[in-house]
Structure 1
Amino acid sequence: MSYRIDSEVVWIPADGEVRLYDPKAGDFRTLNSTAAEIWLLIAEGRTVEAVTAELAQRHTDRSPAQLAVVARDVQEFVDLLLAQGLACAAAEDERTAEAPSAGASGV
Protein backbone atom coordinates (compact mmCIF):
# COMPACT_ATOMS: atom_id res chain seq x y z
CA MET A 1 0.00 0.00 0.00
CA SER A 2 1.13 3.56 -0.71
CA TYR A 3 0.99 6.46 1.67
CA ARG A 4 1.74 10.14 1.36
CA ILE A 5 3.05 12.72 3.77
CA ASP A 6 0.28 15.08 4.91
CA SER A 7 0.48 18.24 2.80
CA GLU A 8 0.30 20.47 5.88
CA VAL A 9 3.47 19.01 7.38
CA VAL A 10 6.53 21.18 6.72
CA TRP A 11 9.71 19.16 6.47
CA ILE A 12 13.27 19.17 5.24
CA PRO A 13 15.98 16.51 5.04
CA ALA A 14 19.13 17.68 6.82
CA ASP A 15 22.31 15.94 7.98
CA GLY A 16 20.91 12.41 7.63
CA GLU A 17 17.75 13.32 9.52
CA VAL A 18 14.38 14.78 8.64
CA ARG A 19 13.24 17.83 10.53
CA LEU A 20 9.54 18.51 10.47
CA TYR A 21 6.85 20.78 11.83
CA ASP A 22 3.34 19.47 12.38
CA PRO A 23 1.06 22.52 12.38
CA LYS A 24 -1.94 20.52 13.62
CA ALA A 25 -0.11 19.54 16.81
CA GLY A 26 2.20 22.56 16.93
CA ASP A 27 5.19 20.22 17.25
CA PHE A 28 8.69 20.33 15.85
CA ARG A 29 10.32 16.92 15.48
CA THR A 30 13.56 15.42 14.26
CA LEU A 31 13.53 11.93 12.81
CA ASN A 32 16.63 9.81 13.30
CA SER A 33 18.46 8.40 10.29
CA THR A 34 16.42 5.20 10.02
CA ALA A 35 13.08 6.98 10.36
CA ALA A 36 14.33 9.61 7.92
CA GLU A 37 15.11 6.92 5.34
CA ILE A 38 11.57 5.57 5.61
CA TRP A 39 10.07 9.09 5.49
CA LEU A 40 12.00 10.01 2.35
CA LEU A 41 11.05 6.79 0.57
CA ILE A 42 7.39 7.34 1.43
CA ALA A 43 7.69 10.93 0.20
CA GLU A 44 8.93 9.50 -3.12
CA GLY A 45 5.65 7.60 -3.38
CA ARG A 46 7.02 4.13 -2.65
CA THR A 47 4.82 1.43 -1.24
CA VAL A 48 5.50 -0.11 2.16
CA GLU A 49 6.72 -3.21 0.33
CA ALA A 50 9.13 -1.16 -1.79
CA VAL A 51 10.40 0.70 1.28
CA THR A 52 10.97 -2.60 3.04
CA ALA A 53 12.83 -4.04 0.04
CA GLU A 54 15.03 -0.94 -0.30
CA LEU A 55 15.98 -0.88 3.38
CA ALA A 56 16.64 -4.61 3.41
CA GLN A 57 18.94 -4.19 0.41
CA ARG A 58 20.78 -1.30 2.07
CA HIS A 59 21.15 -2.70 5.57
CA THR A 60 20.81 -6.49 5.70
CA ASP A 61 22.05 -9.69 4.13
CA ARG A 62 18.41 -10.14 2.97
CA SER A 63 17.84 -13.28 5.00
CA PRO A 64 14.16 -14.09 5.67
CA ALA A 65 14.59 -13.33 9.37
CA GLN A 66 16.13 -9.90 8.75
CA LEU A 67 13.56 -9.10 6.05
CA ALA A 68 10.79 -9.89 8.54
CA VAL A 69 12.31 -7.51 11.10
CA VAL A 70 12.64 -4.72 8.52
CA ALA A 71 9.05 -5.28 7.33
CA ARG A 72 7.76 -5.13 10.90
CA ASP A 73 9.73 -1.99 11.73
CA VAL A 74 8.67 -0.18 8.55
CA GLN A 75 5.01 -1.03 9.13
CA GLU A 76 5.20 0.07 12.78
CA PHE A 77 6.70 3.41 11.76
CA VAL A 78 4.08 3.93 9.04
CA ASP A 79 1.34 3.06 11.55
CA LEU A 80 2.79 5.67 13.92
CA LEU A 81 2.80 8.30 11.15
CA LEU A 82 -0.83 7.47 10.36
CA ALA A 83 -1.87 7.60 14.03
CA GLN A 84 -0.19 10.99 14.46
CA GLY A 85 -1.76 12.38 11.27
CA LEU A 86 1.61 12.92 9.60
CA ALA A 87 0.76 10.58 6.71
CA CYS A 88 -2.33 9.16 5.09
CA ALA A 89 -3.19 6.52 2.51
CA ALA A 90 -2.51 7.71 -1.02
CA ALA A 91 -5.52 7.97 -3.29
CA GLU A 92 -5.53 5.63 -6.29
CA ASP A 93 -4.74 8.49 -8.71
CA GLU A 94 -1.79 9.54 -6.52
CA ARG A 95 -0.37 6.02 -6.70
CA THR A 96 -0.16 6.18 -10.46
CA ALA A 97 1.02 9.80 -10.69
CA GLU A 98 4.66 10.80 -10.59
CA ALA A 99 5.95 10.93 -7.02
CA PRO A 100 6.91 14.35 -5.58
CA SER A 101 10.54 15.12 -4.91
CA ALA A 102 11.82 14.96 -1.34
CA GLY A 103 11.00 18.08 0.60
CA ALA A 104 8.52 19.32 -1.99
CA SER A 105 5.62 19.26 0.44
CA GLY A 106 7.13 21.64 2.90
CA VAL A 107 10.05 23.69 1.79
Structure 2
Amino acid sequence: MSLRISDAVVWQETGEGISLYHTETGDFRTLNETGSKIWLLVANSGEAQPVASALSREFAGTNATLIKRIVVDVHEFIGTMVEQGLFEESLT
Protein backbone atom coordinates (compact mmCIF):
# COMPACT_ATOMS: atom_id res chain seq x y z
CA MET A 1 0.00 0.00 0.00
CA SER A 2 1.37 3.39 -1.02
CA LEU A 3 1.26 6.52 1.07
CA ARG A 4 1.38 10.13 0.05
CA ILE A 5 0.93 13.46 1.73
CA SER A 6 -2.55 14.82 1.15
CA ASP A 7 -2.88 17.66 -1.33
CA ALA A 8 -4.80 19.49 1.41
CA VAL A 9 -1.66 19.72 3.57
CA VAL A 10 0.85 22.53 3.37
CA TRP A 11 4.06 21.71 5.23
CA GLN A 12 7.60 22.90 5.76
CA GLU A 13 10.66 22.04 7.78
CA THR A 14 11.43 24.44 10.60
CA GLY A 15 14.00 24.49 13.37
CA GLU A 16 11.40 22.87 15.62
CA GLY A 17 10.35 20.04 13.27
CA ILE A 18 7.82 19.78 10.49
CA SER A 19 5.01 22.34 10.58
CA LEU A 20 1.73 21.23 9.01
CA TYR A 21 -1.38 23.12 8.00
CA HIS A 22 -4.45 21.20 6.82
CA THR A 23 -6.23 23.60 4.47
CA GLU A 24 -9.59 21.80 4.70
CA THR A 25 -9.83 21.57 8.50
CA GLY A 26 -7.73 24.58 9.54
CA ASP A 27 -5.66 22.38 11.83
CA PHE A 28 -2.07 23.46 12.42
CA ARG A 29 0.57 21.40 14.21
CA THR A 30 4.30 20.92 14.52
CA LEU A 31 5.69 17.39 14.60
CA ASN A 32 8.44 16.51 17.05
CA GLU A 33 11.79 15.12 15.91
CA THR A 34 10.60 11.53 15.53
CA GLY A 35 7.33 12.50 13.85
CA SER A 36 9.29 14.74 11.50
CA LYS A 37 11.60 11.85 10.55
CA ILE A 38 8.62 9.65 9.79
CA TRP A 39 6.98 12.44 7.77
CA LEU A 40 10.10 13.01 5.65
CA LEU A 41 10.63 9.29 5.08
CA VAL A 42 7.02 8.90 3.92
CA ALA A 43 7.42 11.96 1.68
CA ASN A 44 10.50 10.34 0.11
CA SER A 45 9.54 6.65 -0.01
CA GLY A 46 5.75 6.54 -0.01
CA GLU A 47 5.73 3.21 1.83
CA ALA A 48 5.24 2.40 5.52
CA GLN A 49 7.55 -0.61 5.79
CA PRO A 50 10.72 1.14 4.55
CA VAL A 51 10.01 3.92 7.05
CA ALA A 52 9.70 1.46 9.93
CA SER A 53 12.84 -0.38 8.79
CA ALA A 54 14.90 2.81 8.52
CA LEU A 55 13.92 3.99 12.00
CA SER A 56 14.49 0.52 13.46
CA ARG A 57 18.02 0.47 12.06
CA GLU A 58 18.69 3.97 13.34
CA PHE A 59 17.34 3.56 16.87
CA ALA A 60 17.25 -0.18 17.68
CA GLY A 61 20.23 -1.73 15.95
CA THR A 62 19.81 -5.47 16.44
CA ASN A 63 17.60 -5.32 19.56
CA ALA A 64 14.59 -7.42 18.42
CA THR A 65 12.28 -6.18 21.18
CA LEU A 66 12.99 -2.55 20.38
CA ILE A 67 12.63 -3.18 16.64
CA LYS A 68 9.13 -4.61 17.19
CA ARG A 69 8.15 -1.62 19.35
CA ILE A 70 9.40 0.87 16.74
CA VAL A 71 7.56 -0.91 13.92
CA VAL A 72 4.30 -0.83 15.92
CA ASP A 73 4.78 2.84 16.83
CA VAL A 74 5.54 3.86 13.24
CA HIS A 75 2.47 2.07 11.92
CA GLU A 76 0.31 3.65 14.64
CA PHE A 77 1.66 7.11 13.78
CA ILE A 78 1.01 6.58 10.08
CA GLY A 79 -2.49 5.27 10.85
CA THR A 80 -3.23 8.40 12.84
CA MET A 81 -1.96 10.60 10.01
CA VAL A 82 -4.25 8.74 7.58
CA GLU A 83 -7.26 9.06 9.93
CA GLN A 84 -6.63 12.80 10.24
CA GLY A 85 -6.41 13.23 6.46
CA LEU A 86 -2.74 14.20 6.46
CA PHE A 87 -1.58 11.07 4.61
CA GLU A 88 -3.55 9.27 1.93
CA GLU A 89 -3.30 5.56 1.13
CA SER A 90 -3.65 3.95 -2.27
CA LEU A 91 -3.41 0.36 -3.46
CA THR A 92 -0.87 1.11 -6.18
- How high is the TM-score relative to the length of structure 2? 0.91
Equivalences, count: 92
SS of residue paired to 1:75: helix
TM-aligned CA deviation for residue 18 of structure 1 = 0.3
* Structure with the higher helix share, 1 or 2: 2
Which gives a bigger RCO, structure 1 or 2 (Cα 8 Å, sep 6+)? 1
- CA RMSD across the alignment: 1.3
Q: Which residue of 2 aligns with 1:2?
A: 2
Cα distance in 2 for partners of 1:90, 1:5 equals 11
The answer as to 2:65 corresponding to 1:65 is yes
Range 35-44 or range 16-25, more displaced: 16-25
**Corresponding residue for 2:78?**
78
Residues in 2 aligned to 1:16 and 1:90: alpha-carbon distance in whole angstroms: 30
Matched, 1:14 2:47: no
Gaps of 5+ in 2: none
Give the ranges of 4+ consecutive aligned residues of structure 1 lying more than 2 Å apart after TM superposition: none
Give unmatched runs, 5+ long, in structure 1: 93-107
Asked if structure 2 preserves the Cα contact closer than 8 Å seen for 1:16 and 1:36, the reply is no
Check 1:46–1:63 CA distance in 2 against 1; reply closer, same or farther (3 A cut).
farther
Percent of residue pairs bearing the same amino acid type: 34
Structure 2 counterpart SS, 1:44? helix
